[in-house]
Amino acid sequence: LLLYIDWHASFQRPFALPDPYKPLIRVQHEEELALAILRDATPPGTTILANNSNPYLPFLVQEKVIIVPHPDQVTTFISSQPISLLYIGSRPPLTPEDIYPFYVSFDAIREQMMATPNKEKIEELPSGTEIYRLNR
């Protein structure tokens, strides 16, 4: 009986799950719709170009995701990679750039991605996140 109780309890703990760290991934509830749109709208074998709004985005969608680390690299990635979608996420709350270096140049990267030509808006969420399809 004791072995059965221990075996049964092992499936109730987070570290016994098939994806043990998935509950720890930080995603705002307002962004869950954007993830579903990304999964549905991205053609297979292409890439999503994203700003630095969510470091976990590459783990949440099936296709390749490139997170832009610096505003000068936006045009480089667009010209050198098979980018099909632009994911321009909103800044998460409580993420000052002096404490969280991942969000450095957030506004500049967002502006540079918004200035990308030949894009068609797919969705704009109330949180400020926008998803665009690149027309090549």
pLDDT at 127 exceeding the cut of 60 = yes
- Residue in 69, 61, 62 with CA at minimum distance from that of residue 31: 61
pLDDT at 20 exceeding the cut of 70 = no
How does pLDDT run across 51-93, given as a tens digit for each residue? Answer: 999 888 998 888 999 999 999 999 999 999 999 999 999 988 8
Instruction: Give phi and psi for 79, each to the nearest 5.
Output: -80, -25
Q: Reduce the DSSP state of residue 81 to 3 states and report it.
A: coil
